[in-house]
Amino acid sequence: MKEIVQFKKGVLGLCAMMLIHKRDRYGFELAQTISEHVDVAEGAIYPVLRRLVTDGHCSTYLQESTEGPPRKYYRLTPEGKIYMEQLVREWGRFVSNINGLIESYETEVE
């Protein structure tokens, strides 16, 4: 369903920021970790990461890797941390409101 894909795309930025907040991460690692929780294509995370950098919510740096070329790591900026905290609060309100609608629908159906 196209709608489900849009839901996932909309929340990928928040997922990425939550993981980066815990520690700096590189793109493939983020994609792998997010896909453990949300069924998304690996390539879907890279446009989200570019947007986070462009918007000033993340910065990047290269770090040597023992397994190939240097990796681009993402770090949350101070502005990104504030933005992430705002998104978490908004997400909580959003989920609560949607769950209320679903519960009222389920009560009507029974």
Q: Write the pLDDT tens digit of every residue in 37-70.
A: 988 888 889 999 999 999 999 999 999 999 889 9
Question: What tokens does 50 get?
Answer: 């570019």
Q: Tens digit of pLDDT for each residue in 65-90?
A: 998 899 999 999 999 999 999 999 99
Q: Are 80 and 58 in contact (CB under 8 A)?
A: yes
pTM: 0.84
Question: What tokens does 2 get?
Answer: 């196209």
Burial class of residue 41 in the structure, from the number of CB atoms within 10 Å of its CB (0-12 exposed, 13-18 middle, 19+ buried): exposed
pLDDT at 102 over 80: yes
Domain count, the chain: 1
Domain of 87, CATH number, reads 1.10.10.10
* pLDDT for the residue numbered 110: 64
Q: Are 27 and 72 in contact (CB under 8 A)?
A: yes
